[in-house]
Amino acid sequence: MVSKIALEEHFLCPGFDDYWKTTVADVDPAVLAKVVARLSDFDDLRLQSMDSAGIARAVLSLAGPGVQIERDSATAVRNARAANDFLAREVQRRPDRYSGFAHLPMQDAKAAADELERSMRDLGFCGAMINGHTNGQYLDDPALDPFWERAAALGAPIYLHPADPPALFPALAGHRGLRRATWEWTLETGTHALRLVFGGTFDRFPGAKLVLGHMGETLPYLLWRFDSRAKLYGVKLAKPPSDYIKQNIVVTTSGMCSTEPLNCAIAALGHRHVMFAADYPFESADEAAEFIDHTPLSDDVRADICFNNAKSFFGLKI
């Protein structure tokens, strides 16, 4: 079993239940109780799962959407800071096993940038996780340029995590089985990432770093078509869209225990841009580990995907 760093590992802190439960209202209460117990635990349950899967370190992030659905900006700023302080205390208890992603109040670009900087400088976090749009505002909005300017200056990776879209896609109406993790979140998150590419965010901030889970939310499969259609529709960018996806975006294996998409991501982006994630506790860490430990890869490539790439990309001191 190869040693691993896991990058999409969630927790829940006191006072954030109401934010989180907006995404799980239709989940069986018995199942929900077990998930909450695992989200709230930083000791036996989480560490046993990590040990069983060969996860040496987990980079923890608040289960979304968190303050991004808060309507009052001042409350969002205050609660985001409290969540980050809570996580920092847990990381300090086990600095050998945990690192942290900041939770940010994206309602206010400057406040979000300030909290990102504080979290990295004072709390020792290694980037941030943003849970999709914030009350309908996507990350390519020019109003958020001050945030991207600071993130790029800090060298801060931004993990773009799925969130419910502002409104139901009409094509999904009447098909509950296609909602959320089945397809809806991939469509929403992949589109969000493409807004950053096609909207010129990476032209304005070449040092910006974006992380996508689920083997890249289908983007690695469509690089040629993005470039072809950008030419057809006269999209004005400094480079072809695929260049930004290859240069500014890295992907993780969260929730995708399948060799075919892994091979595509490696072929499209290069194996240095692919990293391990388990998506605990929403996915099985053991299943994710079993997959990555045994899928056909050279030992060097497996070690890079599981450990070395994340250590270097996130600047982890381990």
- Selection from 68, 46, 65 nearest residue 57 by Cα: 46
Per-residue pLDDT at 7 exceeds 80: yes
pLDDT tens digits, one per residue of 249-266: 999 999 999 999 999 999
Residue type, 305: I
Determine what percent of the chain falls in helix, strand and coil, rounding each to the nearest 5: 55, 15, 35
Q: Which domain holds residue 12?
A: 4-313
Per-residue pLDDT at 233 exceeds 90: yes
Burial 93-126 (b: 16+ CB within 10 A, else e): eeeebbbbbbbbbbbbbebbbbbbbebbeebebb
pLDDT tens digits, one per residue of 130-163: 999 999 999 999 999 999 999 999 999 999 999 9
pLDDT tens digits, one per residue of 10-66: 999 999 988 978 887 677 888 888 999 999 999 999 999 999 999 999 999 999 899
Domain count within the chain: 1
Q: What is the CATH number of the domain that holds 301?
A: 3.20.20.140
318 belongs to a structural domain: no
| Catalytic member of 108, 114, 140, 279 | 279
Active site residue 279: yes
Check if the beta carbon of residue 105 is closer than 8 Å to that of residue 111.
Answer: yes
196 belongs to a structural domain: yes
Q: How far apart are CA 301 and CA 297, in angstroms?
A: 6
